[in-house]
Structure 1
Amino acid sequence: MTGGTANDIVRSPEPSVRGEVRMPLSQSVKQHPSLKILQRFREHRPAVYGIAVAAVALSTLARWVLVDVLYPGAPFITFYPAIFIAAFLGGAGPGIAALALSAFAASFLFIPPAYTLAPGEQEVVTLALFLVVGGFHVLLITLLNRGLDRVLTQEEQLRTLLDANPSGVIVVNEHGTITVANTATEHLFGYPHGELIGRQVETLVPERLRGAHERLRRTYDVNPQTRRMGIGQDLSGQKKDGSKFPVEVGLAPLRDGARRGVLATVIDISERKHAQERQTFLANELRHRARNLLSVVMALVRRSLVESPESERQALLGRLTALGSATSMLVDSEWQGAPLSKLVEQELSGFSDRVTVRGCDIVLTPSTAQDFALILHELATNASKYGALSTPEGRVLVQGGLEKVNGCDLFTFTWAEHGGPPVAEPIRKGFGTLILTEMARRFAESVHLEYEPEGHLYRLQAPLNALTAKGDQANEPLVGTEVA
């Protein structure tokens, strides 16, 4: 099986490791009917010795019938086939028995004086030569039999390994014909034992894609490579009853002398697909319920604070909205974390032309992401009311930086405003200040708020491993990379 298209069992996948594997390209030799008969015959020792006796008897009869035709000095000529047959069918024992019987019959019947066992000197030499040549043939055939048995045993072991594999394994020759299909493959595609052998591999491909698959298979033969199937793409196979099921397929080129083929592994991923669909459903349900819960909480807050000042009510609703947006982002990532740059962009989406974001390409842990969402909301709210974002000329720089201090990676987050109205340190520290300081200290080593004449400056520094999600491979801030 080689290449294909969408929903095909075999699609041209991305090349990975190049290589070829040596193994037989045909169904187990032991499955051949003639070899099965031979194996059963060899198990009955009286039968093989009987064949040896019968073969010698036929050779004797042939020598008798052809006595006037054959050269008199070659009394053993018709007995060689009997020795070959006995040694091949029964092994060394029957072969030696046939050799001994042939020597006796020829000596008694055809070596003068006939019907005696008193050959002359020349006849003894001829008899000895016959025994040596016949013995060599028995030895040679026995060694060949043992070699064949060893090959058959190895192939049977390979076959056993293939059948023990829970994944489907198929071998396809250069003509696209299935030559090996293990038990798992037959179960996957609903075929009786042995029925897949000799069929075209396109039998396992959805009907509408068989023509395309055949063309892609020929293309694959030109440059065969070990390949993995396309990650993120849906593949499917077709069973004997016409039903389809999702699969993963891998390819590896095979070589057996001058012949070439492909080994394909097939895995039924129906259960995995169902689990993924179930997981997606649960994630969507959780996201929906979380948003509904946030809406309910915000409605309760509005009702509860109906008599409170508008500014207090809006401040609380804004914080809840920021926290809800961060939670939605975490739900979308299955609670793996949230990028700091996304949190910044989300909070400052209305001021994208006046804000520059750099070096914030780290993925925060869920708890840190929620804390940062509230911190960013307070900074953005203060800037839009009293700071740089309250005037058209004002600008904000949001920047992250990484430095190593005493072997520890420290991340520095900076919010710097400029071009806005003059700022002064507030006389009263409200709840917003507590968010910027006390909440930040839950993960930060240091927090600084500076009210410079040119604009508000906020900076916190925290160990990188206290901020970033586990398993994140892209946590290094890219200082100087402008995001917004």
Structure 2
Amino acid sequence: MRMRTERTDPPVMTLLDAPERLSVLHATVPDMAVPDRDFDGIVEIAAGLFDAPIALVTLIDREWQWFKAAVGTTESRASSEESFCVQVAAEADASLVVLDASTDPRFMRRSRVVGPPFLRFYAGAPIMLDGQAVGTVCVLDDKPRADVPQALMDQLSRLAGLAASLFKIKDEARRRALKEAALSREEQRHAMALEAANIGSWLWDIRSGVIAGNSAMKRMFGLPADSFVGAREIFGAIHIDDRGATFSKLRQAMKADDEYDGMFRVGDTGRWLLGRGRVHDRDSKGNPLTFIGVTIDVTDQQASVQRTRLLLKELNHRVKNTLAMLQSLARQTLRQTSDPAEFMTAFAGRLQAISEAHGLLSDHEWGTIRLADLIAKQLLPHVNCYAEQIEIHKDEISLGPDQAVGLGLVLHELATNAVKYGSLSVPKGKVVLTARNMIEDGDNVLHLTWTEVGGPPVREPKRRGFGSILIERSLDKVLGSSVKVEYLPAGVTALIRLPL
């Protein structure tokens, strides 16, 4: 590297604002304003080599020259435009020596030359990062010098190269630390996400038999969170009826280098788990070394599947019964009339009654429905004002499928009869319903009374029609049930007994 003592100043601002240089500086040393003791050894060696009172490791930003390490001054920065070092950075392939600044046209008017500390001597070598001069290693003295040996300047250049290497090493370490911190955060986020989703993750070291898993996985298998987990413990926790098939699927996945996908129960809890995974790596002979995967608790899904199967089975049973009932209704209704229009009206009404009961049961997955809901569904189509024409006194009562369908038909037939001949055939007539849950021999029994009031006088019919027969027989599927209809002059009364 050549040494120069005279040169023409370049445009300082062009150098200071150079985007490539500033980009390298800011990217490599983002904390340039913070002193770093790791560079103290460099300035101490430089000061000793030149027997100089001041030695610096500097970084030149657009406005300030920062002192990363310093000997002989307590200052941490100086103006970039006023510095000696900016001249070094301007011509990056050369070091700079100023023997007496007070006689050098480039520096003689600068504040630190004409005023304290009255600098006279300067020697500096550039710190190069990615081809850009970002700073210097320099020495200063308040006494001028006659000459500086080239060998001494070569040593200063080596110290500048050492500072550049240290900046690069520290930058790489910082970037590596940031990546590791980001990776750690990502791993933590991933682990938290798995925990939040109740997903067990695991890595099986096949040769040692050790399984590393998260707390969700151990919890699923009923193992303590801080326990050592081996393949024996995991396979031992699987239900004995599922153990053989699970192990067989794992071995097949290892052999075929395919994905393992299996479902099994945990023996102690009976919970269902779904396991998925595959071989992560193999040795030089192709033998599996590690197996990685996840385990998901699918107990609720399995329960839902079982409920759906039971519901479909129940629905199939109900559909068969309903079809048989419809066939019987159609035949019996047809026997009562030869008029197609009258047949369709009567049959459609009864079909609608069954449909309404089925709709309620379907909404409740063919479990139980409320008596009040069934009454409203069956009677609303037959009245103009439900609140005024239907009076209900009842206990809270739930009905099963057989009770609901049968009672629905009874209520429909009673309402149809009331519209044609009874209390619902006149504007001020109404029906009073009383429903009580009675205990008989330890069992719950519904006692429901249908009473028509405010209607025309009633006379008992001379011939029993299909409607009357249907009222009496609609509850045949419920053992112990009965329906008794009384044609009192004040209005029809029906007494219904229905075991619940």
TM-score by length of 1: 0.38
* Larger RCO (CA within 8 A; separation ≥ 6): 1
TM-score by length of 2: 0.37
Relative to its length, the structure with more strand (as a share) is 2
Question: As a proportion of its length, which structure holds more helix?
Answer: 1
